[in-house]
Structures are given as structure tokens and as C-alpha cells.
Structure 1
Amino acid sequence: MTALVLVVLLALGVPIALVLCWAALVFILASGNPLLLDSFAPQMFGALDNFGLLAIPLFILVGELMNGAGITVRLVRLAAAFVGALRGGLAYINLLANMMVASILGSATAQIAMMSQVMVPEMERAGYDRAFAAGLTAYGGLLGPIIPPSIVFVVYAVLAQVAVRDMLLAGILPGLLLTGLFMGTVAALGRWRGLPRGAKLGWRDRLLAVRAAVPMLLIPAVIIGTILGGYGSPTEAAAVGAVCAAGIGFFHTRTLALRDLPAILLRTGLNTALVLFLVAAAGVFSWVLIFGEVPQTVAVWIQSVATTPVGFLLLVLVVLLVVGTVIDGIPGLIMVVPILLPIATGVYGIHPLHFGVVVSVTLILGLLSPPVGIGLHVAASVSEVGALRLFRVTLPFFAVAIVALVVLALVPWLSLAFL
């Protein structure tokens, strides 16, 4: 009954947080134990009673402040100064700028929307196909939820009850791996399709670009340095990053004003509320799953199909790629982690951080996979290109991302190197 309600509500397009709450409520009523209703609200509150969740509004605030500080234009100029003259130079610039913005925004859809407005018109003027430019920007946006700070990783850390710091550090090498593979794909396409070259800048122009971008690069350096150096928790690092971002916007670029703060804080509050409501709904849904012994039932079935940890992870990749095409990253994470994590750690002995990276990256790739692919439709909408055409012209990047997923599944060291 609960599964039927879950499927029907998802098919009707009901927001995922409400779907989880309704499914939990239906299970309680069907169990014939109305006393469980007394625990409904405490379970939701308990899911939010976690210090690590404070990092979410602060990371969102950092992104909002940096958006207002003119970060994108300066980072694009910095990337152009060093790789613009290569064949496919603007494609490299797109990926490098996305990587640098990713270390600040931490949100795929926000990054895709912002970078599409900046990069797609510029690449089209330089002779690139508009659909290719939009698709490349979308795949660059995949780096947002992987390279720290990452809201997706923070949510996973809370769900899996692992240190937020460790989970954020686990995303560094996977993010660099994806960036490197995407740039290799651009190099191959540059030769095959004859992508245009950009203008070569002199050392003086390069130094000017570096000088203009250095304050922007200080933000991720401060956040990651604080976490890596053990000077503070991710929450404290995010707070320091927000202060730095505000200082740069007010006093260096001077593109922020006090009148902008109410709107910035309102957007931060609304986005935070959406994420935290999902986390609260996940808390009560996870409790219901455990009470109904769903993870144990699923574990028995999976063990009959996958007999080794590698087989289990490959099965998870296939299943979550399908899930990720119809459900956004964080809601998908909230739905599958309570079921699959106990199996991964308890049955197959997989490290929770390694499993978290594999699950998160797989669900994030679903953002760019038909039929739904939210990130795909964001890029298509902003760029005014058909989503299916956009997917077709960027199939090489999809294939490379699948290769990266398999490598991450087979090589735990890439996720655990900084522990």
C-alpha cells in the first residue's frame, strides 16, 4: 500500500518532501498502530537536530553573495588568459570556469543556469554550435555538487551520520577526475570537429586577469583550507567564506550594496527551507522504512543478485542512473540512502564515504539524462535549444561521465585519499 501511494504521488508530480510524508503516514495507518503517530513530528524534528546542517544555509549564502560580486566574469577571464588560444579554447574556458565556480556555488542547477547565460552566447559568437555550447555548460555544472563545498554531500553526511568534513574532502579527487576527463574529451572533439581557436593573450594581460580573479579564488581557498587544516568545521568554514564574500562584494568589486542584502537573505532562506524540509521528510520516511524492515528485505534480494561488493556497486550504478533521470539529486539521495547504505556497509563492507561519492555522483549525472533530466532542461531553456538535441550532441561527455562513475566505484582510494 505504501509503495503504491509513493509511486502514484510521484507520477502526479507531488513535491518529493510531501510524497515522503504522505507515504510514511499511510504506512502508519496501515500498520494498525496509531501510537506511531505520536512519533511522527519528533522524528521530523530529530532529523534536523544536527549541527552539520547549519553548513547548508551558509554555503547557499556564499553562493548568493559571490553571484552579486561579479565572480563569473572574472573567472572566465582568468581561464581565457591561459587556455583561450588552444583549439576549442572557449570550451576549455567553459570547463575551467565551471570548476572554479563549482568550488563556491555547490549547486548544479544554479550553476548551469548562471553559466549558460554567460558562456553560451559567447561561444556561439565564436563559431561554436549553440547546442554543443549549452550541453558543455550543463556537464560543467555537474561539478557543482561534487567539488566542495557541496550541499549534496552535506545532506548525505547527515543521512549517513558521517563527518561532514570527511564527506566534503571525499569529493575533491572525483571532481578533478571528472574535470580532467571532460577536458580530454574537448581535446579529442577539438581535433575531430575542428573547434575554433581563441585569441592568444600576452603575459601582461594574463597577469591582469590573475590579479582581478585572486580575491575570488580566496573564497574557496579559505573554505577548503579551514576544513583541511582543521581550523574549523565545514559550518564554521562556510561562515568565514560568507564574511569574505561579503567583504569582496562590498569593498573590492563594489557590486554589492546594503539594499541587496534583503533579497539575498530571502533567496538563501527559501532555498534552505526547501532542502531542510526534504531532510525532515527523509527522517520520518527512514524511520518508517526501518520499522517496516524494508532494508532487510531489499538486502536479501540484492544478495541473491550481487555476490561481491563490486557487483553490488555496479548494480547500484544502473538502478540510480534510472532513478536520477526522474528525481533530482537531493530527493533521490534522501529516498535511497536509508535503504542502500545499511546494505553497503553491513553486508558488503563498503566504506560509507566511498559509497556516498558513488551514489551522489550517479544521481547528479541523472540531472542530465532523459527523459526528465532537470539540469538538461535548465540548460535547454536558458539557451533556447531542444533538450533531446542538446543530449545528442553531448553524448561523448555522457559516455565519459559513465566511465568516471565506474572508475569511482572500482577505485575506493579516489574517495578516501584525504582521510
Structure 2
Amino acid sequence: MLTTLFFLAVLMVGVPIGVCLCLAGIVYILSINSPVLFQSFPVQMFGGVDSYGLIAIPLFILIGEIMNSGGITRRLVDLAMAFIGSVKGGLAYVNILANMLVSSIIGSATAQVAIMSQVMVPEMEKQGYDKTFAAGLTVYGGMLGPIIPPSVMFVVFSVLAQVAVGDMLIAGILPGVLLTLLFFVVIALMGFVYDYPRSEKRTLAQRARTAAQASPTLLIPIVIVGSILSGIANPTESAAVGAVASALVGRFVTKEFRFNALPRILLRSAIYSAVVLFLVAAAAVFSWLLIYGKVPQMVAAWVQTVAHDPVTFLLLANVILLVIGTVIDGIPGLIMTVPILLPIATEVYHIDPRHFGVVVVINLVLGLMSPPVGLSFFVASAVTGAKPGKMFIVTLPFFIISCVALVMLSLFPSLSLGLLK
């Protein structure tokens, strides 16, 4: 109890979550007066990041930085515009489709929202869309970032759950496509109700020219995802090749990437990677102490009194994870919940850890779009000036359909495991 109160106290005053976890672990060790645990503390932290799979995290982050610097993101948006055409609400479809294309490289919801808000919201405003709706739609498009590979959150889950990184990345493809299609359905229905404007009509020649100019940028997601699916490379190797491919495309195809910008890009990538990896190291200590204190066993005993089958457990987990995701960012949320819930899911209810990982990640990402915090809405607000509360209200149908998708994934494991069989 003392450890829990201390953890909540330091978290509420704004101490970074990784530091909170380490300090709470020290308080717990002091409370039980165990010198042996103190000696093992640094060993557990080092062991948490002593994983080959974690090398993929800084490489995926580097890919996103190079893409932004090389103008590749904007060309992916142009490619989406060429495919959608002049349908009612066309630019809303483009927003989601462009987010899906970009998410196959960036892999971070908040980073994607910040980037795409700058690209899509002004363009949608020009064509008569409400700025609040445009910003809110971009937020839900950013939800695809941590789901469609590459995904930093899936890499972190893989390390926490001790499952293959490649399997987790592949497991996110079908759920990402499902969410995209469901978002299209919502846009179609809302388009008729609110009479969304049509996109600018383009001739076949214009579309072909845009597609020809932008199609080389698709080499990057093809290299990353294709090499994993084909077995040519593991996720870490494919991330390294993807970083080289993004630099070459940015330099010789789009001609906007400059090699003299690499020091700045590498520094930004290193800072963000260090934050993520420190969280993973803190998670290792946190998980180790949870197991030592038999917390998973106590939680499992309570859960079994409420949930009597795997589906009921997953639905209960959806509620718990969504609530946690509303107040805690994605990776810290993984760190706090996976060590407790994963053993219950796999050992008590025999749920495939990869299926459970997809459910966990989508819940925590959806929490970024939920009150009372709604971090992604605040990111979009900082870029566009739209009000976070109004964004949530006008895009409520997207929140509802995302919850429907979670229920579908809970009921039908094949939606996440289909490509792994």
C-alpha cells in the first residue's frame, strides 16, 4: 500500500513515469528491507533493454524523421488524393488514407497527429470543412500509427511479452485495415448528413502524373513490411534497410533531404529513443517487483471471480485498459498493465499473446483520444488552434466505431492472427 501511494503521489506532481517506476521500486525494497533485491536492481534494469529487438525502436524513429525532412509525407498525401478522386467528402477519405500510408512508416500516434495536422487541416479548411472536424478526423487517422507496422508500441509489447517482434507487427496489419474501412463507413454516413464538399476533380492524366511522382515513396513501406512478411529480414534489419531507403528516396527522388541535416535528425531520434528505452528499463524493474510481490496472482484470483471465459475477460480488459489509456500515455500504459494482465490472459484464459497485444495497444491508443486527458486532441489543438473538447464531440462517431472494432477483435481472434496462420 505504501508503494502504491508513493507511486501515485510522485506521478500526480508530474515526475516522469520512468522515474516514478524506479522510485516506487526502491520504496518497495526499502519497505521489505531486502539488500539482495537492491543488488539485483541495476541488473534487472540492464536486462530490460538487453534485447536485439529493441534496436528497431531508434531505427523506426529515424525513418520517420528522415521522411519528414525529405518531403516524403507530403507526397504520400498527394498519392492518396490521386486515388480518391472527386467523391463527396473526398478530402476526409484522403485524410484517413494518407494517415494509413504514413502510419506504415512513422509508427507513433502523437507524432503522426502533429505532422498530419499541419498537412491536412489547412487543406480541408480551404475546401470548406470545419476546422474542428478536420483536426479531430486527423487525430483518429493518427490512431493508425501504432497499429499498422512499424509500431514502437508493438516492439515494446514484444519485449515485455517475450514474443517475436515480427509476429506482433504482422498482427497489426488486419486490425489497421479494419479500422480504416470502418472510418470510411463513418465518413460516408456523415458526408450525407452534413453534405461534405467534393474534392477537386482531376483528369486521368493528372492522377497518373501524381501517382508516378509519388509512387517511389511507397518503396519505403514496401521494403519494411515486405521484407518482414517474406522472411528476408527480421524487423530490426528491415528497419535499418528502411532508414537507408528513406534517405535515398528523400535525396534522389524528392530531392528535399540533405545529408548535412543528418546530425540534427540523429540527435532528435536519439533523444526520443532514450526516453522510450529508459521506460522499457524501468518496466523491467517494475515487472520484476510485481512478480516478486505476487501481484499478478492476486489480480488473477479477482478477475476469475468476474470473468469466466476468454471473451468476458477481454471485454473486461478493454474497459480497464481504456480507462488507463485516458490518463496515461501509450508506452507507460503498456509498462504498467502488461506485466499484470498478460500472465492472466495467457495462463488462465489461454489467449494468444499476440492477439492480446493487439487488443492492449488499440485500447491504449484509443485512450489518447478520450477525456479527461485526450493527449492527441491537445497535440492537434496546439498545431491547428481547434478546441480539444469540441474536437471530441464532433468526431464522437469515430470513437464509437473504434469501440465496435475493439469488440470485434475481442470476439474474433482471426482478425489479428489471420496473417500469422
Q: What TM-score do you get using the length of structure 2 for normalisation? A: 0.98
How does 1:5-404 map onto structure 2 within 5 Å? 5-404=6-405
How many Å separate the matches in 1 of 2:6 and 2:349? 31
Contact map agreement 2:72 2:250 (CA 8 A) in 1: no
Post-superposition CA distance 1:171-209 (Å, at most 9, x none): 000000000000110000110100000122111111111
Give the Cα separation in 2 of the matches to 1:295 and 1:47: 19
Task: Determine the C-alpha separation between the residues in 2 that align with 1:163 and 1:157.
Answer: 6
- Residues 267-299 of structure 1: per-residue CA shift (max 9 Å, x gap): 110010010000000000100000000000000
Q: 1: distance between equivalents of 2:91 and 2:419?
A: 32
Which residue identity does 1:306 align to in structure 2? A
Aligned partner of 2:300: which letter?
A
Output one character per residue of 1:119-157: Cα deviation in whole Å (capped at 9) or x when no partner.
Answer: 111111111011000000000000000000000000000
Helix, strand or coil for the counterpart of 1:331?
helix
Match of 2:164, as an amino acid? A
**Deviation, structure 1 residue 35:** 2.0
Deviation string 1:237-293 (CA, Å, 9 cap, x unpaired) is: 000101111111111111111220010000110010010000000000100000000
Which ranges of 4 or more aligned residues in structure 1 deviate by more than 4 Å? Answer: none
Task: Give 1:108 deviation, angstroms.
Answer: 0.5
> Is the 1:226–1:232 Cα contact (8 Å) retained in structure 2?
yes
Give per-residue Cα distances to partners, 1:306-341, cap 9 Å, x unaligned.
111111111111111110000001110011000000
Tell me the CA shift for residue 2 of structure 1. Answer: 1.0
* TM-score, structure 1 as length reference: 0.99
> How many angstroms apart in 2 are the aligned matches of 1:404 and 1:84?
27
The answer on whether the counterparts of 2:409 and 2:415 sit within 8 Å (CA) in structure 1 is: yes
> Following the alignment from structure 1 to structure 2, what is the Cα–Cα distance between the partners of residues 318 and 258?
47
Question: How far 1:103 moved relative to its partner?
Answer: 0.3
Give the superposition deviation at 1:115: 0.4
Letter of the structure 2 residue corresponding to residue 333 of structure 1: L
In the aligned structure 1, how far is the partner of 2:406 from the partner of 2:7? 28
Q: Secondary structure at the match of 1:262?
A: helix
- Tell whether the 8 Å contact from 1:111 to 1:144 is kept in structure 2 after alignment: yes
**Same amino acid, percent of matched pairs:** 60
Deviation at 1:84, TM superposition (A): 3.5
Maintained 8 Å contact 2:121/2:131: yes
> Are the counterparts in 2 of residues 116 and 382 from structure 1 also a CA contact under 8 Å?
yes
**1:280 alignment partner AA:** A
CA RMSD of aligned residues (A): 0.8
Letter in 1 for 2:415: L
Whole-Å Cα distance in 1 between the matches of residues 252 and 200 of structure 2?
32
In the aligned structure 2, how far is the partner of 1:151 from the partner of 1:166?
14
For 1:84 and 1:123, locate their aligned partners in 2 and report how far apart those are by CA, in whole Å: 15
CA distance in 2 between counterparts of 1:135 and 1:99 reads 16
> Is the Cα–Cα contact under 8 Å of residues 91 and 124 in structure 2 kept in the other structure?
yes
d(CA) in 1 for partners of 2:344, 2:275: 28
Query: Is the 1:83–1:92 contact (alpha carbons within 8 Å) kept by the matching residues of 2?
Result: yes
Supply the distance in 2 between the matched residues of 1:148 and 1:163 (Cα, whole angstroms): 14
Q: Is the 8 A contact 2:70 2:256 kept in 1?
A: yes
Gaps in structure 2 of 5+ consecutive residues: none
Q: Deviations over 1:72-113 (max 9, x none)?
A: 221121111121301001101101100000001001101000
Structure 2 CA distance for aligned equivalents of residues 53 and 308 of structure 1:
34
Alpha carbons 1:84, 1:92 under 8 Å: kept? no
The DSSP-based 3-state class of the residue aligned with 1:418 is helix
Residue pair 2:79, 2:215 contacting (<8 A) in 1 also? no
For 1:69 and 1:296, locate their aligned partners in 2 and report how far apart those are by CA, in whole Å: 50
